[in-house]
Amino acid sequence: MGFNVAIDGPAGAGKSTIAKLVAKEKGFIYVDTGAMYRAIALHLLRKGVTPDEKDRFAAECADADVTIRYVDGVQQVLLNGENVSGLIRTEEVGNMASSSSVDKDVRAKLLDLQRNLAKENDVVMDGRDIGTNILPNADVKVYLTASVEERATRRFKELTEKGQECDFEKIKADIKERDERDMNREIAPLKQAEDAVLIDSSDMTIEEVKDAICKLICK
């Protein structure tokens, strides 16, 4: 039976970055559930589906096969055998993932894979509903958040450092909109689990957040 660490929180809170660092330090497997949903989103976009065409989600994702593998300790997300790890981090894919991830058929498609990974391995898993829905019996649960202003600043810096032109106010508005959508969706909304430890990283360094979570893991 694996030791499970669940990290939930809103978009831009740094969940993926922190989860990877925690997993590396503790020797656990990092399972990026958000990447799985983004792979499905990419699949839908490639089929010409828009975020508003919810009636097409189930049928169009039926032939999508999303898996995770590790090569030299590095996670690779495969969509129908293609490594799409470098293609799923765009704003377009993120917005589609926020819409499609609420679909019950999309969620059911990925749920078994996620739970089986956690059952058989020591894992750190991050997302929107890990501690509340996917791994309700996780050994450690964390709700990682930060102010909208801080999350927008981080995203703006990340994009500009990659040479992409972007508008800070639009990024901030997108984050607010995604928070609203994620927290009020009908299926598995974003919320802090009752037994989760709240960590606000607005004024913390990445190292400080990582250390705070590692201290919670008694293994």
Give the number of other Cβ atoms within 10 Å of residue 151's Cβ.
Answer: 25
Using the structure block, give the residue that is written with the tokens 């019996």: 137
pLDDT tens-digit series, residues 5-14: 999 999 889 9
Residue-wise pLDDT tens for the chain (219 aa)? Answer: 799 999 999 988 999 899 999 999 998 988 888 898 999 999 999 999 999 999 999 999 989 988 777 788 788 899 999 999 999 999 899 999 989 988 988 988 888 778 987 888 899 999 888 999 999 999 999 999 999 999 999 999 999 999 999 999 999 999 999 999 999 988 788 999 999 999 999 999 999 999 999 999 986
Residues 53, 102: contact at Cβ < 8 Å? Answer: no
Using the structure block, give the residue that is written with the tokens 């994702």: 61
Residues 160, 166: contact at Cβ < 8 Å? Answer: yes
Residues 115, 134: contact at Cβ < 8 Å? Answer: yes
For residue 184, give the 3-state DSSP assignment: helix
Pairwise CA distance, residues 135 & 139, whole Å: 9
* Cβ burial, residue 131 (10 Å; 0-12/13-18/19+): buried
The total number of residues written for the chain in this structure: 219
* Cβ burial, residue 137 (10 Å; 0-12/13-18/19+): exposed
Give the number of other Cβ atoms within 10 Å of residue 11's Cβ.
Answer: 23
- Amino acid at residue number 78: L
- Amino acid at residue number 114: Q
> Closest Cα to residue 64, out of 46, 48, 76?
46
Alpha-carbon Rg of the chain, whole angstroms?
Answer: 16
For residue 7, give the 3-state DSSP assignment: strand
Give the number of other Cβ atoms within 10 Å of residue 67's Cβ.
Answer: 13
Pairwise CA distance, residues 92 & 139, whole Å: 34
pLDDT tens-digit series, residues 32-51: 888 989 999 999 999 999 99
pLDDT tens-digit series, residues 150-163: 999 999 999 999 99
